[in-house]
Amino acid sequence: MLRRSKGFAGLGLTLLGPSLLLAGCVQSVGPMDWVGPVAGDQAEAQRWVTWYLIYLGAAVFVFVEGWLLYNIIKFRRPLGPGRLPPQIHGHPTVEVLWTVIPTLIVAAIAVPSVPAIFSFAQPPDEAGGLRVEVLAHQWWWEFRYPEVGPGKTITVANELVIPVGRTVIATLSSADVIHSFWVPKLAGKVDVIPGRQKNRIWFNAREPGEYYGWCAEFCGTQHAQMRFRVKAVPAAEFEAWVRARLSPPPEPEEGLARRGFELFGARGCGGCHTIEGTPYQGKVGPNLTNIGGRSTVGAGVLENDPEGRGLFRWVKNPQAVKPGNKMPYLGLSDEDVLAIVAYLKTLR
Amino acid sequence: MATVGRAVGVTPRPGFWGYLWSWLTTVDHKRIGIMYGVTTLAYLLWGGLEALLIRLQLSRPENTFLDPNTYNQVFTMHGLTMIFLVVMGFNSTLFNLVVPLQIGARDVAYPRLNAFSYWMFLFGSVLLNLGWLWGQAPDVGWFGYAPLTGVKADPGLGPDFYVMGLQALGISSVAAGLNFVATIINHRAPGMSLFKMPVFTWMALLTSFLMIFALPVLAIALIEVMFDRLFGTNFFNPDAGANPLLWQHLFWIFGHPEVYILVLPAMGVISEVLPVFSRKPLFGYSFVVLSGVFIAFLSYGVWAHHMFAVGLGPVANTVFGITTMLIGIPTGVKIFNWLATLWRGELRFKTPMLFALAFIAVFTLGGISGVMHATVPSNYQQTDTYFVVAHFHYVVAGIVFAVFAGIYYWWPKYTNRLLDEGLGKLHFWLFFLGFNLTFGPMHLLGLWGMPRRQYTYPAGLGWDFWNAFESASALLMALGTLVFLVNAVKSLRSGVMAGADPWDGRTLEWTIPSPPPAYNFAEIPAVSHRDEFWARKYGPHGERAQARAASRPLSGHNPGDGHGVHIHLPNPSYYPLIVAFGIALGMFGAVMLRPVEVGGLGPLGWALVGFGALITVFGSYGWSFEPAG
């Protein structure tokens, strides 16, 4: 079913169809577009089903609206005084006909969807999959890798690094309210529920790349800016990343970064954030051990550019960037912010 | 004049206060319907304003016009207003204005309960909106998913106003549902068997049953949230071991029948308007009615299709996906029967007809996208995107087309004046174009991954153009609505006189004068046909068309027009108003039980609760022992 999609889309191109949608089919509109090219097996199957529905729906649409328009045009003339149109009250045969035909259409939709539903519930590679724990917070994401080494767990925030091609099996839990885990290019949504129900989602990335993730269940003030990225890298690169993450980054010895390291403690940052290998072991906010190497700041809100402008804006006043988020405005001077940013940039 | 009147012992003409008092104490279904209509129209403007604020905020990426907390309040209140106050309000309006006339009754079964329903609706709507005064309107979405409604996640007053406002509106709806079931079952004119009943009345009956059985589920769920918030219970508190999905199950067991509570009356309106303006009977009457019954039953078995992503497992998702798709079948049957009604008819494109045709056009698309949602694999991607927003606007905002069809159609019955056709057509085209250009592109945005309920979005994801386009298009809908208001005022001041039967109607309401006298029917008509009035005019099979064209017999003749006939009508009563006020005051008191720091009164709130309870008890007592008159 997955492989047939390309041929299906090609066939569709030669048939009638809304041209705007076709534009979205052949080239990706953006990183959230899930009816254009996608990168995961689940997303591919879902895309296939959706296009199947779009074409079926278009046929029904054309038929019904066509008949409506036909009636409007054909029967618009007045008959003149003393004449009435035929007083037809109904016709049992056509009633049966237009009960049976929609039933067949529904069956044509329902039957192929059932195997897909079951395939999404069962990871294709249960034993060999990479285990990940997702812990959603208002309004950021925590990711843990529990099986990377004996007794070792890697904890990162807002950017999940995965190896290309390997099935990822994620266990979802929430620290507060209901969220929803969604990476449209890789797989559909699964909700993240607080309490005892731990949902599971599996996905894979066929190609290397950076995929957009988004919280898809309304979760309060900053629901709109609870985003993340999934970075798919080749297996060897993933192994290297794991090794690097298992040894904490060195403490800066001198210069601006050193001052930033000290300020990080003096201004209380370490009370909320963890940086491994340092005294800073706060558990309230995101783990910052690799913040310098991540693509975004503030849960997918700002680009983490090489000059550190994004980090500067965030540390200077997180409430201006993401009003209502749980990191307070600290009133730091520009010099202090620059120092802290210089330190954070060293954490890769 | 008044002195002259007094001098000869005639009752003086009532002044303003007397006039107001007559409305406050009325138990006449027609006046109650008018009050519902005015209230609902006001909320249509209010909810529309909220919609424009949403569109203004989303007109460009990273807009800062609204801050996130305000936006969350606005989109929550937009949904609550449009669903509970506008569409449900219009349903109550039309039930009151039309059902008793269609079944040949003098009033509803319980006129005072009917007044109570209206006052409860009014006070409930005020309670729901009262949070704006604290800057803390409900901000948890119309679905209010736990534990976001818990005090830990939302310590403000928003969820409290949500809980109490909806509870009050629910009381109103259940009372109205009971009333209309009793009315339709018991007060039909002699000879009007169930399958001779007009389709709108049929749909009102089904809707009333749905309200009776669906809203109590919401009531229970709301009481649980209230207890969690006020008294520290743990119905939905995951920290204490609760599964917050319980709320979703309860909410959607209410919430999906609610969707059909919204749409069945609209289908009823369409089934009235199309035959009149096609000059043909409704095609497949019994199939239209029975598919409505089928939809009503099925609506209780599909709730989990709102929850495919919550992890119910593949078996449950498959079952609920299929039951949901099944609803597409009777819906399709209805649409086909409407199309067959038009077929070979003599179509007259008056404004009500235009709105009715547009309802079919947009509802078809809403139905197709609905079946797409029911397909679970696709749903995993579609859910919580703008594709869903597009879908339910094509359905629920599509209902507004039926609402306008109903307004243009029945307006002359109550005002004896026609709405202007030119302005009506302008209204229609502005609204129809604006509607499709606003909600149509949302399908694309959803397929391109734009999530719902977001106060902001970044630039460069392919969403910028269509958002700006939609925001501009929304203005067309607003403009159309303004044209309607102008039309309404113009019609009331100087509209063309309508007479009793301006559309060549088919049902009993067109046999009596416009506006209907207080007693509706001087003599209760005896019914022997479906479309009784049409059969009287043209013969059951149209065989008298020629004769009628020659003679034009008087329509709107109300035999023995009430003079000299004693007709019993219920006395006015102010107790329904008092009881509704007492309940609403007590509920407001319950909101005020919240701590002083968040804007409540703390334990002082009990004083309000007690005061409200006292008024309720007093009012109920007076109500119970009021002389029948």
- The confidence score (pLDDT) of residue B556 equals 47
Position A185, amino acid: K
Largest Cα separation within chain B, whole Å, is 83
| 8 Å CB contact of A180 and B309 | yes
pTM of the model: 0.94
276-305 in chain A: CB under 8 A from chain B: none
Run of H or E including B459: none
Cα–Cα distance, B5 to B179 (Å, whole number): 40
pLDDT, average across residues B517-543: 92
Nearest-neighbour CA in chain A from B563: distance (Å): 35
- Cα(A223)–Cα(B451) distance, rounded to whole angstroms? 10
Residue B559, token pair as written in the block: 């035999």
pLDDT, position A15: 40
Mark which residues 209-238 of B lie under 8 Å from A by CB. Answer: 238
C-beta atoms of B153 and A177 within 8 A: yes
Inter-chain touch A90–B286, beta carbons under 8 Å: yes
- The partner residue sitting opposite B243, judged by closest CB among A83, A195, A218, is A195
Which structure tokens are listed for B97? Answer: 């204005």
Q: Is A308 helix (H, G, I), strand (E, B) or coil?
A: coil
DSSP B11-49: PPPP-HHHHHHHHHT---HHHHHHHHHHHHHHHHHHHHH
Give the pLDDT score at A152: 86
A329: contact with B, CB 8 A cutoff:
no
With a cut of 90, say whether residue A16 has pLDDT above it: no
What whole-number distance in Å separates Cα of residue A321 and Cα of residue B65?
Answer: 14
**Per-residue pLDDT reduced to its tens digit, B212-250:** 999 999 999 999 999 999 999 999 999 999 999 999 999
Task: Map residue A139 onto helix, strand or coil.
Answer: coil
Question: Is any Cβ of chain A less than 8 angstroms from the Cβ of B186?
Answer: no
Hey, are the CB atoms on A46 and B448 less than 8 Å from each other? no
- Say if residue B451 is preceded by a cis peptide, omega within 30 of 0: no
List of residues 6+ apart from B4 with CB closer than 8 A: none
Contact A180 B461 (CB under 8 A): no
Question: Can B620 be counted among the known catalytic residues?
Answer: no
Pairing type for strands A179-183 and A130-137 reads: unpaired
End-to-end CA, chain B: 31
Range 455-514 of B in CB contact (< 8 A) with A = 455-457, 460-463
> Cα(A102)–Cα(B368) distance, rounded to whole angstroms?
11
Look at residue A147 in the predicted model and tell me its pLDDT: 83
Instruction: Tokens 């002195």: give the residue.
Output: B3
Query: Which one, of B254, B253, B292, lies nearest residue B169 by Cα?
Result: B254
- How crowded is residue B622: how many other Cβ atoms within 10 Å of its Cβ? 14
Nearest-CA distance B456 → chain A (Å): 6
**Centroid of chain to Cα A340:** 30
- Cβ atoms of B422 and B468 within 8 Å: the answer is no
Mean predicted lDDT score pLDDT of chain B: 94
Give yes or no for B339 touching A (CB within 8 A). yes
| Catalytic (active site) residue B551 | no
Select from B28, B32, B127 the least CA-distant residue to B85. Answer: B127
Does B464 score more than 60 pLDDT?
A: yes
**What are the structure tokens assigned to A214, written together?**
């988004």
Q: Catalytic residue among B29, B30, B31, B78, which?
A: B78
Provide the terminal-to-terminal Cα distance of chain A, rounded to the nearest Å. 41
Q: Rounded CA gap, B44 and B420, in Å?
A: 21
Interface contacts (A, B; CB < 8 Å): 291
Q: Which of A:188-207 have CB within 8 Å of B?
A: 188-191, 193-197, 199-200
Task: Give dist(CA B410, CA B200) in Å, integer.
Answer: 12
CATH topology identical between A5-121 and A255-345: no
Lowest mean pLDDT among A321-330, B4-13, B63-72, B406-415: B4-13
* E strand or H helix at B469: helix B464-494
- What is d(CA B409, CA B276) in angstroms, rounded to the nearest whole number? 10
Structural domain boundaries in chain A:
5-121, 130-246, 255-345
What span, in angstroms and rounded, lies between the C-alpha atoms of B131 and B594? 13
Cβ-Cβ contacts under 8 Å, B342 against chain A: 68, 71-72, 75
Label residue A300 left, alpha or beta by phi (over 0 means left) and psi (-120 to 50 means alpha). Answer: left
Does the pLDDT at position A7 exceed 60?
no
Binary contact (B549, A81; C-beta < 8 A): yes
B620's tokens? 């109920």
| Pairing verdict, β A296-297 and A199-203 | unpaired
Residues of B numbered 254-283 whose beta carbons fall under 8 angstroms of chain A's beta carbons: which are they?
A: 278-281, 283
CB pair distance less than 8 Å for B318 and A114: yes
Give the residue among A256, A19, A111, A63 at the shortest CA–CA distance from B336: A63
Span B273-314, pLDDT tens digits:
999 999 999 999 999 999 999 999 999 999 999 999 999 999
pLDDT band at B1 (very low <50, low <70, confident <90, very high): very low
Report the pLDDT averaged over residues A46-67. Answer: 96
Is B528 a known active-site residue? no
CB atoms within 10 A of CB A73: 9
Per CATH, domain A5-121 is 3.40.50.300: no
Question: B24-501: what CATH class?
Answer: mainly alpha
Note the pLDDT tens digit of each residue in A116-161: 999 999 999 889 999 999 999 999 999 999 988 778 899 999 999 9
Residue B555 pLDDT > 70? no
Give the CA distances from residue B518 to residues B18, B24, B180, B417, in Å, rounded to whole numbers and listed in that order. Answer: 18, 16, 19, 18
For residue A34, the chain B residues in CB contact (below 8 A) are: 381, 447-449
Q: What is the mean predicted confidence (pLDDT) over A59-65? A: 96
Confidence band, pLDDT 50/70/90 cuts, at residue B566 = confident
- Helix, strand, coil share (%) of chain B residues, nearest 5: 70, 0, 30
Q: Give yes or no for A314 touching B (CB within 8 A).
A: no
User: What confidence category does residue B546 fall into, taking pLDDT thresholds of 50, 70 and 90?
Assistant: confident
> Is the model's pLDDT at B543 over the cut of 70?
yes
Structure tokens given for A61: 């649409």
Residues 137-156 of chain B whose Cβ lies under 8 A from any Cβ of chain A: 140-141, 145, 147-148, 152-154
Q: Is B78 annotated as catalytic?
A: yes
User: Angle at the Cα of B458 (from B454 to B462), degrees rounded to 5?
Assistant: 100
Query: B433: number of CA atoms within 13 Å, CB side?
Result: 12
For residue B373, count other CB atoms closer than 10 A to its CB: 22
Nearest Cα residue to B172 out of B489, B584, B460:
B584
**Distance, C-alpha B433 to centroid of its chain:** 23
| Active-site position among B331, B438, B507, B616 | B331
Contacting residues of B for A43, CB less than 8 Å apart: 381
| Cβ neighbours of B385 in A, within 8 Å | 216
Does B372 sit within 8 Å of A43, measured CB to CB?
Answer: no
B-chain residue closest to A174, CA distance: B238
Point out which residues pair with A181 in neighbouring strands.
A190, A215
> How far is Cα B575 from Cα B29, in angstroms, rounded to an integer?
16
Calculate what percentage of chain B has a pLDDT beyond 90. 92
Structural contact between residues B528 and B535, judged by C-beta atoms closer than 8 angstroms? yes
* CATH classification (class only), A255-345: mainly beta
pLDDT for res A28: 82
| Amino acid present at B15 | G
Please give the CATH superfamily to which domain A130-246 belongs: Cupredoxins -  blue copper proteins (2.60.40.420)
Catalytic option among B30, B43, B81, B107:
B107
CB contacts of B383 in chain A (<8 Å) are: 188-189, 216
Average pLDDT over residues A291-307: 95
Q: What is the DSSP string of B123-187?
A: HHHHHHHHGGGGT----STTTT-TTTTSTTT--SSHHHHHHHHHHHHHHHHHHHHHHHHHHHHH-
Looking at this predicted complex, what is its ipTM? Answer: 0.92
* Minimum-distance CB partner of A220 among B153, B344, B369: B153
Average pLDDT over every residue of B408-412: 98
User: Rounded distance, CA B37 to CA B31, Å?
Assistant: 10
Q: pLDDT digits over B140-168, tens only?
A: 999 999 999 999 999 999 999 999 999 99
* Cβ atoms of B536 and B580 closer than 8 Å: no
- Label residues B165-201 b or e (16+ Cβ within 10 Å = b): bbbbbbbbbbbbbbbbbebbeebbbeebeeebbbbbb
Element (H, E) at A144: strand A140-149
User: Which one of A83, A97, A98 would you mutate to disrupt binding with B, by most B Cβ within 10 Å of its Cβ?
Assistant: A98
Please identify which of the residues B76, B117, B125, B172 carries the catalytic annotation: B172
- Of A264 and A125, more confident: A264
- Has B173 been annotated as catalytic? yes
**Residues of A (6-65) whose Cβ lies below 8 Å from B:** 20-21, 24, 29-36, 42-43, 45-47, 49-50, 53-54, 57, 60-61, 64-65
- Percentage of chain A exceeding pLDDT 90: 85
Model pLDDT, residue B587: 98
